[in-house]
Amino acid sequence: MLKKKLLAGLFCLAVLLVWVGGIQASGLVTFRVEVISGMTISSPSELVFSSVVPGIPAEKDLEIIVWSNVEWELKGKAVDDGLGGLEGLIEAQDSHGTWYDLAADEWILRRAESPTGEDGLTLDIPFRFTASYSDAPANYQFEIELTVVPAI
C-alpha cells in the first residue's frame, strides 16, 4: 500500500513538472555590436605665457589628457589668422625633442602612441613663444588646435 502511494505521488509530481514545463518558453537572442576607433582629448582652455621680450624665448608646458582605443597621433597647428597679428614664433616640441613652428604648418607632435585604456594618458606638451622686434607692445591672443587621430 505504501508502495502504491509512493508511486502515485511520483506520478503526480512527474505530471506537475511536465505541466509546468509546458507553460515555459525560452529563446536565444544574438547581439551584434561593432566597436570603432574612438579618441578624446581634454585640455585647459588657455595657456598664459609670462611677459616676453623680443628675441628671448618663453617656454610653458600644456597638460593634456588623451583617451584612445587604437594607436594614435597628436597633431598641432595655429588656426585662424596664424598668431593673431604677431610676427613672433610659436613652437611645440615633439616626443623626440624637436621644436616645430606651428604657425607655418600642421605638425605631428606624438607618433604611434599605444591605446590609452580608460584612464587616458596625461601628457605635458612643451610650447615656446619668441616675440619679434616687429611686435608692438600689447596683449595678444591666438589659438592652437590639437587633434588626436588614428596612427597610420
Which pLDDT score is estimated for 13?
65
Tens-digit pLDDT profile for residues 57-68: 999 999 999 999
Residue 48's alpha-carbon distances to 4, 38, 101, in angstroms, are: 94, 30, 18
Q: What counts of helices (H) and strands (E) characterise the chain?
A: 1, 8
CATH code at 39-150: 2.60.40.1090
Amino acid making up residue 70? V
- Residue 21: pLDDT above 60? no
The H or E element spanning position 110 is strand 107-113
Please give the average per-residue pLDDT across 90-94, as a whole number.
Answer: 93
Please give the average per-residue pLDDT across 28-40, as a whole number.
Answer: 94
How far, in whole angstroms, is CA 109 from its chain's centroid? 15
Domain ranges of the chain: 39-150
- Residue 17: pLDDT above 80? no
- What is Dmax (Cα atoms) for the chain? 116
pLDDT band (50, 70, 90) for residue 152: confident
